[in-house]
């Protein structure tokens, strides 16, 4: 019993520290693939803002108030997956005390906002502020990682086109190495 409690406390500490230090987290909701999202650790949860005009997209992830999400955090120094944890999605009402507390922290981290003076009003009007609250022990952590890579094929997009390399390309590449 004490070993389980000890592991849960270690997981909680690792979740908090890794999420605080990471600039991006990968979030998978009830729909769609996991997406990298910028966030801020505040009040025992990963807080993020999205949707609306000019913010990170959240609508196709299936993140609903009271729903669940899987959060994957990378190692800051190595860049690989460090920990994966389950979260409960909480969407505070715009302009509520919890919403305002999260927004006050998030707006300081929002880089290059085109409307820095009216950012809070736009977020209240157009965007969603979400809190991802950890729910228990980590699914994956150092010493308990799956054997498969979790690599996913790239999503289909019209921007990807494959054409044969020009016949002169190998000669051009060889010439560049000599000079």
Specify if 99 maps to a domain: yes
Structural domain of 86: 2-154
Specify if 171 maps to a domain: no
Residue 47 CA, distance from chain mean position: 10
Q: What was the pLDDT predicted at 178? A: 54
Cα torsion 85, 95, 119, 126: sign:
positive
Specify if 165 maps to a domain: no
Which tokens in the block code for residue 80? 């690989």
Specify if 100 maps to a domain: yes
Q: What was the pLDDT predicted at 177? A: 63
Q: Splitting the chain (179 residues) into consecutive groups of 10 residues, what average pLDDT does each group show?
A: 72 85 90 89 94 85 92 82 89 94 90 83 92 85 74 74 77 70
pTM of the model: 0.78
Q: What was the pLDDT predicted at 102? A: 93
Q: What was the pLDDT predicted at 160? A: 62
Specify if 80 maps to a domain: yes
Query: Which candidate, 85, 102, 83, places its Cα nearest to that of 94?
Result: 102
Q: How many domains does the chain have?
A: 1
Compute the radius of gyration of the chain from its Cα atoms: 21
Specify if 64 maps to a domain: yes
* CATH number, domain containing residue 122: 2.30.110.10
Q: What was the pLDDT predicted at 161? A: 64
């Amino acid at each position: 019993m004490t070993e389980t409690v000890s592991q849960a406390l270690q997981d909680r500490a690792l979740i908090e520290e890794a999420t605080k230090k990471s600039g991006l987290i990968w979030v998978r909701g009830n729909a769609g693939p996991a997406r990298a999202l910028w966030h801020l650790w505040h009040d025992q949860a990963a807080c993020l803002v999205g949707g609306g005009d000019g913010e990170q997209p959240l609508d196709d992830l299936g993140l609903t108030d009271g729903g669940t999400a899987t959060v994957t955090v990378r190692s800051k120094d190595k860049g690989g997956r460090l920990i994966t944890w389950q979260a409960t999605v909480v969407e505070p009402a715009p302009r509520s005390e919890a919403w305002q507390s999260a927004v006050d922290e998030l707006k300081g981290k929002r880089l290059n906002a085109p409307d820095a003076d009216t950012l809070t009003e736009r977020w209240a009007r157009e965007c969603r502020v979400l809190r991802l609250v950890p729910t228990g022990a980590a699914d994956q952590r150092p010493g308990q990682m799956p054997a498969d890579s979790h690599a996913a094929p790239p999503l289909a997009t019209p921007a990807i086109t494959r054409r044969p390399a020009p016949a002169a390309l190998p000669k051009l590449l060889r010439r560049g190495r000599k000079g």
